[in-house]
Amino acid sequence: MRSRTLGTLAVLVALGLVSCAQHAAAPRRLGTGRSGVRHGPPAGPADPRTTLRVHFIDVGQADAVLLEFPCAVMLVDLGAEKNKKFDGVQALRSYLEAFFDRRPDLNSTLKLLAVTHPHIDHVRGVGLLLSPNSPFKVANIITNGLELSSGGRQQKRLHAWAEAQGVPLQKISLRDVPPKLGLTSAIIDPIRCEAVDPEIRVLFSTPDLQPDDWRTAEFENVNNRSMVLRVTFGDTSLLLMADLEEKGISTLLNLMRDSPLLDADVLKVGHHGSWNATNTDLLDAVTPDLAVIMMGPSDREVAWSAWAYGHPRRDTVEMLVEAVTLSRTPAVEVPVATKAKQFELMRIGKAVYGTGWDGTVVIEAGTTGKARRVE
């Protein structure tokens, strides 16, 4: 990929995945338990001093992304699908426990917790961190400051806990974000390792007041007020789009016009691959090598699921397949939605991954050279 800021990064992906056997059924995910979530993270990298790993954790129809640096770790969102068929909170807890068992040097500490917006599928796991007997520690927190919508109670609880515990907390609004530059600070970017200094920036967050070109419904839509993050590590760049929808994307593109900061190697696709959270203007700005969609499997036919919402939509996946530069080997057939509760199989030979298809997706990159997917 041609990167306007960081040069060229070639991403090689190794994957073994069984194709779908019947209409609208998700493929068997290798290395997973009955819940569809890995029993734990993969073994450590060959050279942990100069390696980044991004764990897109399979928590169902929800977001939880763990970024593992050589000297610290950050978590972006702690959502979880939870119903009679799947307990994403327990899946998240189990994954974090297994991860910290592998990295005892980190002392079960999240150097940064970033919560992009207060929807329940992004904050349901707050209790894992705030309960008195929690095995996990949090050193810094950033949020978009909102305390409303389906996860408002959890976000309000997080804010109150941080203030009571003296944990540094930064509530970020759009007015704080410098155009073309993004926002960083000692709280947003508290990680500096011996061999590499990652860079963490906020590119977008909630407008405090309704913008003139936004309708009331667009402003009241909390997805449009999501916090968008960019992380760089050596030659690798990562863009985390949260659940930002069309109006928010338009504002983000205007805010970052003529800036190289949207150009990224790895794209965390917005809003679980919904029809209204990815467009060609965004993909032209990002020029991704690789894209990851965080969603549940299509065969879990319950409310508040990927099946119920119709995620990911075929049109979105087609745009991603056209945009990403790398391939996945072998190609796979996966279920994509034509509308809510209706799926069909699509063959994908490009580097587009989904937690609902693949289980937890882990991407590894060094400070220079190639990156790859880790099984």
Q: What is the pLDDT of residues 45-85, one digit of tens each?
A: 888 899 999 999 999 999 999 999 999 999 999 999 999 99
Q: How confident is the model at residue 375 (pLDDT cuts 50, 70, 90)?
A: confident
In angstroms, the CA 261 to CA 147 distance is 29
Cβ(293)–Cβ(269) under 8 Å? yes
What local confidence, expressed as pLDDT, does residue 254 receive?
A: 97
What local confidence, expressed as pLDDT, does residue 8 receive?
A: 38
Mean pLDDT across 219-248: 97
> Has residue 329 got a pLDDT over 80?
yes
What local confidence, expressed as pLDDT, does residue 372 receive?
A: 80
Q: Strands, DSSP E only, in 18-115? A: 51-56, 65-68, 73-76, 82-83, 86-87, 109-110, 112-115
First-last CA distance in the chain: 23
What local confidence, expressed as pLDDT, does residue 135 receive?
A: 97
> Has residue 37 got a pLDDT over 70?
no
Which distant-in-sequence residues (6+ apart) come within 8 Å of 327 by Cβ? Answer: 13, 349, 350, 351
pTM exceeds 0.85 for this model: yes
Query: Could you read off the pLDDT of 159-198 as tens digits, one per residue?
Result: 999 999 999 999 999 999 999 999 999 999 999 999 999 9
In angstroms, the CA 220 to CA 134 distance is 34
Q: How confident is the model at residue 31 (pLDDT cuts 50, 70, 90)?
A: very low
The torsion defined by the Cα of 93, 95, 97 and 101, in degrees rounded to 10, comes to 180
The mean of the pLDDT values for the chain is 90
Q: How confident is the model at residue 368 (pLDDT cuts 50, 70, 90)?
A: confident
> Has residue 212 got a pLDDT over 90?
yes
What local confidence, expressed as pLDDT, does residue 370 receive?
A: 65
> Has residue 342 got a pLDDT over 60?
yes
Cβ(4)–Cβ(263) under 8 Å? yes
Q: How confident is the model at residue 239 (pLDDT cuts 50, 70, 90)?
A: very high
What local confidence, expressed as pLDDT, does residue 27 receive?
A: 39
What local confidence, expressed as pLDDT, does residue 318 receive?
A: 98
Cβ(348)–Cβ(326) under 8 Å? no
What local confidence, expressed as pLDDT, does residue 15 receive?
A: 36
Burial 119-154 (b: 16+ CB within 10 A, else e): bbbbbbbbebbbeeeeebebbbbbbbbbbebebbeb
Classify domain 11-39+47-368 at the CATH superfamily level.
Answer: Ribonuclease Z/Hydroxyacylglutathione hydrolase-like (3.60.15.10)
Task: Give the tokens for residue 55.
Answer: 């764990």
Q: How confident is the model at residue 204 (pLDDT cuts 50, 70, 90)?
A: very high
What local confidence, expressed as pLDDT, does residue 307 receive?
A: 98
Q: How confident is the model at residue 39 (pLDDT cuts 50, 70, 90)?
A: low
Query: Could you read off the pLDDT of 109-160 as tens digits, one per residue?
Result: 999 999 999 999 999 999 999 999 999 999 999 999 999 999 999 999 999 9
